[in-house]
Amino acid sequence: MTVRRIPLVAGNWKMNFDHLEATYFVQKLAWLLRDAHFDFKRCEVALFPSFTSLRSVQVLVEADRLRVTYGAQSVSVTTQGAFTGDVSADMIAHLGCSYVIVGHSERRKYHPEDDANIVDQVRAVLAAGMQPILCVGESFEERRQGIELDFAVGQVRDVTRDLSDEETSKLIVAYEPVWAIGTGMVATPQSAQEASCAIREDLRETFGADVADAVRILYGGSVTSKNAAELISQPDVDGFLIGGAALDVDELAKIARLVSKSTQGR
Ligand code: PEP
């Protein structure tokens, strides 16, 4: 039986765009996709604005009944209280978010987000009824040592260890080699496939085929419209988490169209 996972093209805006720029971007993206008769059943498109733009994106998506989904870039591990500057999973869910990115390498680097904190974020996101996009991936050092697959698989294991089958099946994993993020150095399609396949096979061993086949595994790291078609042709690559190229609306729409086209034969 062939397994059908709807590919996801996820644009991580990081700390870019205020709410007016975000609104303009979403309007233009919707217009470009509508113009291209884009089929959202073949490819999901999700945007990850900063917290300050989420409400504007929600209003627009709901008012114009857009098919674009959206989420947040991080979340607090606590539900409420004296945590100045934090935003809870429930607050994010009430803004209509479907997803939260968890453990992005920039969060791991610039904030005290260790493995324990990342597990708690995943739990908070799931408890609020959203799906976590868990970012994993090796640095140059692990790749130099030839342990990149074990490293990425280990990062997923660290998070899924205490999750139930049902919780794990709601996870989305983004394999993002740190050396490829924002550098223009993209992983080869073979290497993206190898890592995605290793992660899926490990999930299969621990949780069984239903869970392994349900989890979408994205590739992230310098994805553009020039390399997207080859990367998405890999059987275990179910879409992309995109940084730089997601700031250019024409480029993002082009990548989404390429991904949607690639599913026609799947
Ligand atoms: C990212 O930030 O998750 C990312 C993959 O960035 P870029 O596409 O710019 O490499």
Domain ranges of the chain: 8-263
Task: Check if the beta carbon of residue 233 is closer than 8 Å to that of residue 262.
Answer: yes
Split at pLDDT 50, 70, 90, the class of 264 is: low
User: Which positions are catalytic?
Assistant: 104, 176
How far, in Å, is the centroid of ligand 1 from the Cα of 165? 29
Nearest CA to ligand 1 atom 8: 243
* CA-based torsion, 236, 67, 250, 60: positive or negative: negative
| Residue 89 in tokens | 């999973």
The predicted-structure confidence for 15-57, as pLDDT tens digits, reads as follows 999 999 999 999 999 999 999 999 999 999 999 999 999 999 9
Give the span between the Cα atoms of 8 and 23, in whole angstroms: 21
Q: Is 31 annotated as a binding residue?
A: no
Give strand pairing partners of 9.
45, 240
Give strand pairing partners of 112.
none
The whole-number pLDDT of residue 265 equals: 54
Helix (H) or strand (E) holding 156: helix 148-160
pTM score above 0.85: yes
Ligand 1 site, CB within 6 A = 12, 176, 181-182, 220-223, 241-245
Give the residue carrying structure tokens 């979340």.
Answer: 75
Pick from 181, 219, 224, 231 the residue to mutate for probing ligand 1's pocket: most ligand atoms within 8 Å of its CB.
181
Task: Check if the beta carbon of residue 240 is closer than 8 Å to that of residue 44.
Answer: no
Q: Is 13 annotated as a binding residue?
A: yes
The predicted-structure confidence for 72-123, as pLDDT tens digits, reads as follows 999 999 999 999 999 999 999 999 999 999 999 999 999 988 889 999 999 9
Pick from 47, 172, 179, 241 the residue to mutate for probing ligand 1's pocket: most ligand atoms within 8 Å of its CB.
241
Structural domain 8-263, CATH architecture: Alpha-Beta Barrel (3.20)
